[in-house]
Amino acid sequence: MTTAPQDAVRAYVQAEVAPHAAAWDKGHTFPAAALRGLAELGCYGVAVPAELGGAGLDYLALAVILEEIAAGDGATSTVVSVNNCPVCSILMAYGNAPSSGSVSWCRWRAASNSAPSA
């Protein structure tokens, strides 16, 4: 894996996640804007093939990316991990052609506040 994804995620987390993590926790705040930013970096669907709307990387890259996010905020990394691991993995393993579009939708939904149009 090239270090470019890791470096981009690290820089984003240091600027947009870590400085706010304690306040989010104390205030019981869901960091929607920070999660959208991570989605824009491709952190949702890391190991999903590019043709399905994912980043097209592997699970080692996912582990490195999650480690970078967790260094700034464990809760935020958990949100990203759940989307990548059970959700995307299950859809890729057991989905059929119509539902495999759901993998792309999972990544898209993280970056949006509304449902996709049909």
| Alpha-helical segments (H) within 73-111 | 74-82, 89-94, 97-110
Per residue of the chain (118 residues), what is the pLDDT tens digit?
578 999 999 999 999 999 999 999 999 999 999 999 999 998 988 998 888 778 889 999 999 999 999 999 999 999 999 989 888 888 888 876 665 555 555 554 444 444 344 3
Residue ranges making up the domain that contains 98: 4-110
Supply the pTM of this predicted model.
Answer: 0.81
Q: How many residues does the chain have?
A: 118
Assign residue 41 the CATH number of its domain: 1.10.540.10
Domain tally for the chain?
A: 1
Residue 87 lies in a domain: yes
